[in-house]
């Protein structure tokens, strides 16, 4: 049964309101989690500062350029944390058999499952990432134009799709692999490399981070459109297409596993 985008937006709005209400009933947990998230990001900020006290640049990348990459990665990673956090529980629902309850509603299965959880503390990461981006932008003296802002929004969204796709695919392995947590955890840990320019890695890892585990598209390639407009590689311009393709493939993979599960009743 096909539904319109407006239908799903209305449903998601109602689910979101109820989820936030339930979380706000435990305000101390929300506050502590948000503070913890902010402190983690501050620690990352400080580590950059300490690093550049000893090295003026890293492979030609200065402090504020690296800080821009860091902020870019934080913002682009926020959607996967806020909107797709339920992927971490997928294996539990599958192994317990409770996942079957999602298979009998007349709405898209992927949407229904993912929309149940909104990780509101991820908004703290978003605020910190935007603040870091604005600070680095100002220090680098980058122009502020409508075109630049539009480019920024487009490439942030498509960069987000890469991490969402990686997490979707990793989470969906639970339909076939019993110890799928380690696959998901490994993919999640790779995100820490997204805040570094790919040029600092060896040719082998450059290939891996570009074509096999494409974390270079989470920050490095998309941010070049803003940071270094005079030397933009083709892969940067292809980032939106690559993001959309990877997301679509991960969605089809996730749905294939879900349909196999419902079909076998395993």
Q: Is residue 63 scored above 90 in pLDDT?
A: no
The reported pLDDT for the residue numbered 1 is 54
- Comparing 40 with 72, which gets the higher pLDDT? 72
Q: Mean pLDDT across the chain, nearest whole number?
A: 87
Q: With 0-12 CB in 10 A as exposed, 13-18 as middle and 19+ as buried, what is 98?
A: exposed
Residues 185-217, buried b or exposed e (16+ Cβ, 10 A)?
eebbebbebbbbbbeebeeeeeebbbeeebbbb
Q: Encode pLDDT of 22-40 as tens digits.
A: 777 766 777 777 777 778 7
Q: Is residue 263 scored above 70 in pLDDT?
A: no
The reported pLDDT for the residue numbered 9 is 85
Residues 15-50, buried b or exposed e (16+ Cβ, 10 A)?
beeebeeebeeeeeeeeebbeebeeebeebbeebee
Q: Encode pLDDT of 114-157 as tens digits.
A: 998 888 878 888 988 999 999 999 999 999 999 999 999 999 99
**In the chain, domain spans:** 5-264
Distance from the Cα of residue 228 to its chain's centroid: 23
Mean pLDDT, range 48-54, rounded to an integer: 75
Q: Encode pLDDT of 74-118 as tens digits.
A: 999 999 999 999 999 999 999 988 999 888 888 899 999 999 888
The reported pLDDT for the residue numbered 21 is 75
What stretch of H or E contains 221?
helix 220-227
User: Which two structure tokens, joined as six digits, stand for 75?
Assistant: 């913002």
Can you give the pTM of this predicted structure? 0.88
What is the SS3 assignment for 10? helix
């Amino acid at each position: 049964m096909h539904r319109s985008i407006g239908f799903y937006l209305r449903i998601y709005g109602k689910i979101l309101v109820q989820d936030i209400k339930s979380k706000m009933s435990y305000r101390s947990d929300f506050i502590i989690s948000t503070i913890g998230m902010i402190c983690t990001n501050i620690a990352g900020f400080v580590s950059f500062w300490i690093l550049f006290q000893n090295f003026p640049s890293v492979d030609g990348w200065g402090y504020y350029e690296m800080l821009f990459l860091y902020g870019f990665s934080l913002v682009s990673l926020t959607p996967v944390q806020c909107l797709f956090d339920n992927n971490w529980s997928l294996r539990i629902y599958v192994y317990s058999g409770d996942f079957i309850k999602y298979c009998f509603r007349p709405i898209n299965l992927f949407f229904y499952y993912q929309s149940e959880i909104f990780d509101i503390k991820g908004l703290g990461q978003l605020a910190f990432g935007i603040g870091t981006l604005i600070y680095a932008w100002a220090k680098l003296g980058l122009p502020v134009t409508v075109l630049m802002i539009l480019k920024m929004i487009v490439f942030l969204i498509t960069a987000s799709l890469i991490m969402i796709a990686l997490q979707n695919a990793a989470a969906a392995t639970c339909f076939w692999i019993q110890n799928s947590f380690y696959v998901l955890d490994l993919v999640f840990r790779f995100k820490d490399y997204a805040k570094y320019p790919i040029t600092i890695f060896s040719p082998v890892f450059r290939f891996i981070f570009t074509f096999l585990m494409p974390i270079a598209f989470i920050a490095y390639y998309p941010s070049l459109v803003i940071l270094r407009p005079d030397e933009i590689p083709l892969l940067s311009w292809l980032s939106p297409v690559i993001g959309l393709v990877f997301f679509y493939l991960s969605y089809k993979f996730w749905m294939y596993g879900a349909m196999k599960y419902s079909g076998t009743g395993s």
